[in-house]
Chain A
Amino acid sequence: MKADHVLQPAAMTAGKKVKHANARKEALVGWLFLAPELIGIVVLYVFPVVFSLYLSLSDWNLVGGLQSIKFVGLDNYVEMFHDEKVIHALKNNFVYTLLTVPVGMALSLILAVLIHTKVYGQDYFKVAFFVPYISSIIAIGAVWSALYHPSLGPINQFLTSIGVSDPPKWLADPDFALLSIAIIAIWAGIGYQIVIYMAGLTSIPDDYYEAASIDGATALQKFRMITLPLLGPTNSFLFITLLMGSFKVFDLIAFLTSGGPNNASTVIVYRIYEEGFVNFRMGYASAISWLLFAIVGVVTFISWQIQKNKVTY
């Protein structure tokens, strides 16, 4: 014991040195483990966003090589806000969001509550509603393109058979194209939303419901007073996720309508794609990219503020 005490000071300084060297090594290793992910994200997402700001102030058609990039100031932005297709796209994005987000959330909440509390064989229902979500949206789109066929498709044949004389032409109809896309998107996405809601519902303790039952609460009262408030965080998560998703909608539109007929279903991301990769106007497409970034950024910022100020249950 005594000998230990005597030795301690020397051992401590040596220990410190070792510790110091270890800490430096750990820091180095730490950064090395982060490196691939960080470099990848910076090179593929952060740098491109900054670079596209520069591109958006220029005129470049991809063919001429980087030397032929011509600085044009804010021309692209000025053009963008006067471009009927872009304005149309913004409007369509807005309508698409209004069509898909509230309906999708309401339907999936009802189904999730029913599956959670009122049915036998929960697993079957989870799987059944989830299958469209894991199926390729392109294969799904192909199926619906047949179902929507204006004259021969089963939907319109059914409508005609029950006496609808002039059924809509769905994807080929300027008034219905966006709605048709929204229906497919709701159908394909509902399984995901049900799963998220089920996770939220499972986290609500059974005791609350039992206590409410003892107090004689009806099912509807329980839903309003217990389920809905306690699903608050799930609701806001889903809302933000779906909102963001709806701004970025592309696949179904590119595959089924190419934004048509008559730009009736064109959206922001489709404009980026068409201006960039069909018309090869990289500068202009970058300006639209920044419009998308700005919209997503503002909405994210607002939702963060709201979440910060909200009382969590």
Chain B
Amino acid sequence: MTRYGKIDPGKLVVTVLMGAISLFFLIPLFWMASAAFKYEKDVMVFPIQWIPKAWNAVGNFKAVWMADIPFYTFYWNSIKIAVIVTLATVVFSSMAAFSFTKLNFRGRDLMFGVLLTFMIIPEQATLIPRFMFIRWLGLYNTHEALIVTMMFSIYFTFLMRQFMLGIHTDFLEAAKIDGAGYLRIYWQIILPLCKPILATVGIIKFIWTWNDYQHPLVFLLDKDLYPITLGIQLFKDDYADNYAVLMMASLSAIIPLVILFIVLQKQVIKGISLGGVKG
């Protein structure tokens, strides 16, 4: 009915109800944000002081950001790892997808089928040999270990192939006959046409890498190499009885992704639903 500019009272009631549900749903995050600014003695006070009576924002902030290993170290590590992994994934997946869709050669579609069946392999089932391989390469306890093991993705190759199948590039045949270099076709014609999928894949891969916990847990030893996820682990171990500081660390970890998400929500949501549409 909104089509005609009228407000549907039933819809309004549901909206208000759903609004209440969504606020209830977000309580853990409100609680975190509020605790991050409190003195420890006020954190567990009941009824909950949603707005702190006494503020300890500076104290908690200092405890997190100026600790022995300051939080920005973890931040920098996370940014470095996630950016490199994301770029590499986008490049390798799009190269493979380009080959699968725009180049003709024998065995191409068979290869794609084989690659798809590899998707069945659970990443965790390969953890131990991968760990041995990384150690053999001498990469144990380096960021390169994480980058190398996380920069290949059949799933994203699949998504990019789906997208590239949908862009009509008959003119490529002419370009090929004219002898245009394949690298140029890929870089100057295909990639610009694929901007939407590159963006969605990039954002999703960035979020997943940023939030990854298992790989750093297995492949890193030195604390100053830790990404944010392991950094929070340190705060949990060191501040077992100081939830205010732990919440400040959690808040610090979540904020940039939430901002990134709110700015790029259209792409993120589109990227997430891409996987589901095909089924």
Q: Smallest Cβ distance from A12 to chain B, in angstroms?
A: 15
- A135 and B254 form a contact (CB under 8 A): yes
Mark interface residues in A186-213 (1 if CB within 8 Å of B CB, else 0). Answer: 0100001001101110010000000000
- A139 and B254 form a contact (CB under 8 A): yes
- B276 and A199 form a contact (CB under 8 A): yes
Given known A-B contacts A37-B92, A128-B22, A138-B232, A143 and B129 have beta carbons under 8 A apart: no
Interface residues of B in 197-223 (CB under 8 A from A): 207, 210-211, 213-214, 217-218
Kindly list chain B residues whose C-beta atoms are within 8 Å of the C-beta of A23.
Answer: 104-105
- A139 and B43 form a contact (CB under 8 A): no
- 9 additional A-B pairs beyond A45-B118, A136-B229, beta carbons within 8 Å, are A33-B186, A34-B96, A34-B100, A48-B129, A52-B125, A135-B257, A154-B48, A198-B273, A248-B122
Mark interface residues in A26-52 (1 if CB within 8 Å of B CB, else 0). Answer: 110111011011101101111111011
Chain B: interface residue total (CB-CB under 8 A): 95
In the docked arrangement, what's the CA distance between A271 and B223, Å? 24
Mark interface residues in B1-23 (1 if CB within 8 Å of A CB, else 0). Answer: 01000000011101100100110
Asked if A68 is at the interface (CB within 8 A of a chain B CB), the reply is no
Asked if A263 is at the interface (CB within 8 A of a chain B CB), the reply is no
- A131 and B29 form a contact (CB under 8 A): yes
Of B53-61, B64-72, B147-155, B163-171, the one with at least 4 CB within 8 A of chain A: B147-155
Of A80-88, A95-103, A112-120, A166-174, the one with at least 4 CB within 8 A of chain B: A112-120
- Residues of B whose CB lies within 8 Å of any CB of A are 2, 10-12, 14-15, 18, 21-22, 25-26, 28-29, 31-32, 35, 43-44, 46-48, 92-93, 95-96, 98-100, 103-106, 108, 111, 115, 118, 120-133, 148-149, 151-152, 154, 157, 176-177, 182, 186, 207, 210-211, 213-214, 217-218, 228-229, 232-233, 235-236, 243, 246-247, 249-251, 253-254, 257-258, 261-262, 265, 268-269, 272-273, 275-279
Q: Smallest Cβ distance from B2 to chain A, in angstroms?
A: 8
Asked if A292 is at the interface (CB within 8 A of a chain B CB), the reply is yes
Kindly list chain A residues whose C-beta atoms are within 8 Å of the C-beta of B217.
Answer: 254, 273
